[in-house]
A = this chain, B = another copy of it.
Amino acid sequence: MPFEYLPPLLRASKSKIVLIVMDGLGGLPVEPGGPTELEAAHIPNMDRLAAEGMIGLSTPIRPGITPGSGPAHLALFGYDPLQYEIGRGVLEATGVGLHVGRGDVAARGNFCTLDSAGNISDRRAGRISTAEAIPLVEKLKDVKVPGVEIEVRHVKEYRFAVVMRGEGLDPDIDDTDPQATGVPPLPAQARTPAARRTAELFNQWIASARRALDRHPKANGLTLRGFATDPNLPSFQDSYGLRPACVSVYPMYKGVASLVGMQVIDFPGETPEDEFSAVSRVWQDFDFFFIHIKKTDSKGEDGDFRGKAAIIEQVDAALPRLLDLNPEVLIITGDHSTPTLLRTHSWHPVPFLLWAPKTVRPDDQTVFGERACAHGGLGNFPALDTIPLALAHAGRLDKFGA
């Protein structure tokens, strides 16, 4: 993995690197011979950057593997997802700003509806609204278990996250969601003897939590899934010598970024322009800027071809603001493909644009799109190469050996 051989080569520099990740960027034509979403978008700025820079296609995990968002981002940051796994509970918890330290155990929670016999009648509590859920989460915050500290935070609608902190905890516990209705929630069950006490503590918490929720007509029960602890990822800053900032609207991406030690920037608004403005405000304080654009993926999952292209066009229109900052290296890519044709994440390689005016070797490509990327000078390459390439073009790496 890059950070295993890079640290001895790192060179001090004031150069700045910007990584724009348009979630689910890669697409497919919806009719034979037609354009992809990216190819259909009117993106004069990105086309110019493609002409001046280099393009290619990156593979997030391995060929043929469709990535989830967590692993896809880990790969872009240089952490091989086959080696580093972030548990779901940790992803959910850090995504809403809960700290998951070494030895803590995090889980994802769902409110559910229990019938009078204690069986689950709705696994998502009728998808209660955020407004309805927040007071329930407040009740859960008052539930105590002797010997451990428990923190709960609302995520969205019927979802929440919970973190348990204390001595000797172990996350090796089965989900309590039976993935079925007409049966009761399962108890938290340890998979190994070492996790028995932790499972017991969670069962105590679940019992008290149910009493606290008892009178709610829909959300009178709960299930927990994805028990996990801090993945203990190597620090992005130590590995690459970069002070990294994350600019993202959505919590989950802030969560992944904070797990590798990026500083999450708060900012008003949620458009690409708002995100780029946030970058410009903290420009002096960081060397690396991870900017996450969510809606390309959402439109892809909606099957909204034109909507996805429009989001890409919004990013393109806002780019001059970012270019005015004069980054040494600008990368525009995605974490994975989400073709509107498929309405879901896919394994297709991801368009990748590397712009570095001083050091890039031009490749005769003049537009940014999947077909052009397949002929680009960067070729087909693993997403794990992203940061080493960025560091090289930013003048931040010394020679390897004599």
Mark A residues whose CB is within 8 Å of B: 2, 5, 9, 28-29, 32-33, 36, 52, 57, 61-71, 81-82, 85-86, 88, 91, 342, 344-348, 359, 361-364, 370-371, 374-381, 385, 387-393, 397-402
Which B residues lie within 8 Å of A32 (CB)? 52, 362
Partner of A402 from B69, B344, B347, B398 at Cβ < 8 Å: B69
- Cα(A85)–Cα(B400), bound, Å: 10
Which B residues lie within 8 Å of A391 (CB)? 64
Give min CB distance, A133 to chain B, whole Å: 20
Which B residues lie within 8 Å of A398 (CB)? 66
CB distance A389 to B68 under 8 Å? no
Most buried by B among A61, A345, A359: A359
- Cα(A57)–Cα(B61), bound, Å: 20
Which B residues lie within 8 Å of A5 (CB)? 62, 65, 82
CB distance A400 to B67 under 8 Å? yes
If A33-B362, A400-B71 touch, does A379 touch B388 (CB 8 Å cutoff)?
A: no
Most buried by B among A342, A370, A393, A399: A399
Give the dominant DSSP class at A's interface: loop
CB distance B61 to A379 under 8 Å? no
Q: A64-B388, A374-B376 are in contact. List 9 more A-B contacts (CB 8 A).
A: A28-B359, A65-B388, A65-B397, A66-B392, A66-B400, A69-B401, A71-B401, A345-B399, A347-B397
CB distance B347 to A63 under 8 Å? no
CB distance A392 to B28 under 8 Å? no
Which B residues lie within 8 Å of A381 (CB)? 63, 380
Which B residues lie within 8 Å of A70 (CB)? 401-402
If A57-B379, A402-B88 touch, does A28 touch B361 (CB 8 Å cutoff)?
A: yes
CB distance B401 to A81 under 8 Å? yes
- Cα(A362)–Cα(B341), bound, Å: 14
Which B residues lie within 8 Å of A378 (CB)? 380
How many copies of this chain does one complex carry? 2
Q: Which 3 residue pairs across A and B have the least CB separation, nearest first?
A: A64-B388, A68-B401, A379-B380
Most buried by B among A28, A64, A370, A374: A64
CB distance A400 to B346 under 8 Å? no
If A5-B65, A65-B392, A381-B63 touch, does A81 touch B364 (CB 8 Å cutoff)?
A: no
Give min CB distance, A135 to chain B, whole Å: 27
If A28-B359, A85-B401, A379-B380 touch, does A9 touch B374 (CB 8 Å cutoff)?
A: no
Most buried by B among A57, A63, A66, A393: A63
CB distance A29 to B362 under 8 Å? yes
CB distance B389 to A63 under 8 Å? yes
Which B residues lie within 8 Å of A344 (CB)? 399
Give min CB distance, A85 to chain B, whole Å: 7
If A347-B392, A379-B380 touch, does A64 touch B370 (CB 8 Å cutoff)?
A: no
Give min CB distance, A107 to chain B, whole Å: 13
Give min CB distance, A234 to chain B, whole Å: 17
If A33-B362, A359-B28 touch, does A66 touch B397 (CB 8 Å cutoff)?
A: yes
Most buried by B among A88, A377, A389: A377
Which B residues lie within 8 Å of A28 (CB)? 359, 361
If A347-B392, A374-B363 touch, does A68 touch B397 (CB 8 Å cutoff)?
A: no
Give min CB distance, A137 to chain B, whole Å: 21
- Cα(A82)–Cα(B33), bound, Å: 40
